[in-house]
Amino acid sequence: MYTDNVNLAPSQVAELGQGYNNRQITKRWVEVLVDCPGTTGLFTYQLPEQLEVKSGDILSVPFGAQVVGGIAIRLLEEPPADIPIDKIRNVEDVVSAGFFPRAYWELLNKVAEYYYTPLIQVVRVALPPGLLGRSQRRIRLVKGIPAVPSYLSQTARQIFDLLKAQPAGDYSYNYLQRQVKAAYRAVRELTRYGLVESYLEAPKLTRPKLQKSVTLTNDPLARDITTRQHEILEVLRRHGGEMLQSELLQASSASSSTLKTLADKGYVVIEERERLRRESPTNSGELTGEQVKTLTTDQTQVLESIQQISQYATILLHGVTGSGKTEVYLQAISPLLNQGKSALVLVPEIGLTPQLTDRFRDRFGNKVSVYHSALSDGERYDTWRQMLTGEPQVVIGTRSAVFAPLPNLGLIILDEEHDSSFKQDSPIPTYHARNVAQWRAELENCPLLLGSATPS
């Protein structure tokens, strides 16, 4: 149920990352920021006894005739006094627990407050497309029930017969509501008798990309294989014993039927593995393994000043184009990666990203990722998930990358910080990436390095 102004005085607020002490009360309530076009404000939901929710969790909640994504904002001991309890619906499920770390959640709230933007709009800008996708409630028959029990009501029999006639015994709740009047009562009755079960189908989000991978399991010198099969195993062995099936077939000029024969004999295992979608490097050749360059006296002094700072500070690196700012960036980041920390590098335009990315990848290899609006939804989804692993890495991107969820952030760099492209004019929030980067550096307690030939 929607509420516009909430009196927080009687509320018990759970901090991010902390559970809610449900031993003190018998009923629990949560205010949820719902991801549904045209909605603003918070909606109050009740928490089922078996469901543990913390502020910052991504939830699935009923909204009208559908189930949508939402974010738990705060837990309440009592619902708002002006909302009838029987009008408040239950949270369906927790989609992702503890998704927003404290500093990240504070950053999103700061952006929403400063730029007078609904918080859900800021969340949509920060998250990859589809993460707050719509879930769907489904009803399925419990296995092992041969026929419709005689004690069921007429509407419950209709629902039971519909599910029984479906091969999988499974329909969406919305479909059943359209087919049978008062279906909700019938479903409740069937559930009470243990004849059906209700479950939540995952949102139709961007899915991980799976590709077939071939792994070597036995000695390729075995005698019960042909010369051609031996050649294929040798190619696989030279590549470390594991390759994508498509790459192995191309490298060995083999057919998939030949690989299947080797799998049947137990010499290889063919299985689907996830492959992260990443932007292809502009230099299609091998990485050059660029060597660390010798710095000038001025560069050395700047680098030493940066490396002496391990907490929040704003540093201006003033240098004309071609003065070697990028090399300073590289050498400032290198020790951070060795310490298990990550770095975020922001550039004003997508067109500047490839040349900078190639330079960084030559130095740091696959620890470098890019994140900007020109990536496909799948690439943004996979890059986002790669950031959440906590591995030390470097992310290069345009202004939206300021929201990249890098844990243990050690340094934020704004290259060409004077550029007006760091300001988003539309759609809302109309934020400036320099301001957001400053707030984030403060919250993460890490240095912010501003590079420019013409400082603002």
> Quick check: 117 pLDDT over 70?
yes
CA distance 262 to 249: 13
Maximum pairwise Cα distance, the chain: 91
Question: For residue 264, what is the enclosing H or E element?
Answer: helix 256-265
Query: Where does the pLDDT of residue 7 fall: very low under 50, low under 70, confident under 90, or very high at 90 and above?
Result: very low
The answer to whether 61 and 34 are in contact (CB under 8 A) is yes
Structural domain spans, the chain: 2-126, 136-201, 210-274, 297-452
| pLDDT reported for residue 243 | 83
Query: Where does the pLDDT of residue 283 fall: very low under 50, low under 70, confident under 90, or very high at 90 and above?
Result: very low
* Residue of higher predicted confidence among 243 and 283: 243
CA distance 348 to 454: 14
| pLDDT reported for residue 198 | 78
The CATH class, in words, for 210-274 is: mainly alpha
The answer to whether 136-201 and 210-274 have equal CATH topology is: yes
| pLDDT reported for residue 28 | 86
Lowest-pLDDT range of 126-130, 165-169, 193-197: 126-130
> Quick check: 237 pLDDT over 60?
yes
The answer to whether 254 and 248 are in contact (CB under 8 A) is yes
> Quick check: 3 pLDDT over 70?
no
**Which CATH architecture is the domain 2-126 placed in?**
3-Layer(aba) Sandwich (3.40)
Q: Where are the alpha helices (DSSP H) in 166-255?
A: 173-179, 183-192, 227-238, 245-252
Going by C-alpha positions, the residue among 19, 25, 14 that lies closest to residue 75 is 14
Lowest-pLDDT range of 170-179, 194-203, 352-361, 438-447: 194-203
Chain centroid to CA 256: how far?
34
Query: Where does the pLDDT of residue 50 fall: very low under 50, low under 70, confident under 90, or very high at 90 and above?
Result: confident
Going by C-alpha positions, the residue among 59, 61, 99, 79 that lies closest to residue 12 is 79
The answer to whether 331 and 306 are in contact (CB under 8 A) is no
User: From 3.65.10.10, 3.30.43.10, 1.10.10.10, 1.10.10.60, which CATH number describes the 136-201 domain?
Assistant: 1.10.10.10
The CATH class, in words, for 297-452 is: alpha beta
Residues ≥6 apart with Cβ < 8 Å to 260: 270
DSSP annotation of 206 reads P
CA distance 232 to 254: 7
Cα angle 96, 187, 194 (rounded to 5 degrees) comes to: 85
> Quick check: 280 pLDDT over 50?
yes
* Residue of higher predicted confidence among 42 and 437: 437
| pLDDT reported for residue 326 | 92
> Quick check: 22 pLDDT over 60?
no
| pLDDT reported for residue 274 | 56
Query: Where does the pLDDT of residue 130 fall: very low under 50, low under 70, confident under 90, or very high at 90 and above?
Result: low
CB-count burial class (<10 Å; 0-12, 13-18, 19+) for 411: buried
> Quick check: 312 pLDDT over 80?
yes
pTM: 0.61
* Over residues 235-262, mean pLDDT: 85
First-to-final CA distance of the chain:
47
Q: What percent of the chain has pLDDT over 70?
A: 83
As a whole number, the mean pLDDT across the chain is 81
State how beta strands 368-371 and 409-415 pair: unpaired
| pLDDT reported for residue 11 | 37
The answer to whether 56 and 26 are in contact (CB under 8 A) is no
Cα angle 401, 405, 408 (rounded to 5 degrees) comes to: 120
| φ and ψ at residue 76, rounded to 5 degrees | -120, 145
Share in percent of the chain as helix, strand, coil (round to 5) = 35, 20, 45
| pLDDT reported for residue 278 | 57
Query: What pLDDT, in 10s, does the model give residues 66-79?
Result: 777 888 888 888 88
> Quick check: 191 pLDDT over 50?
yes
> Quick check: 84 pLDDT over 70?
yes
Cα R_g (the chain), whole angstroms: 28
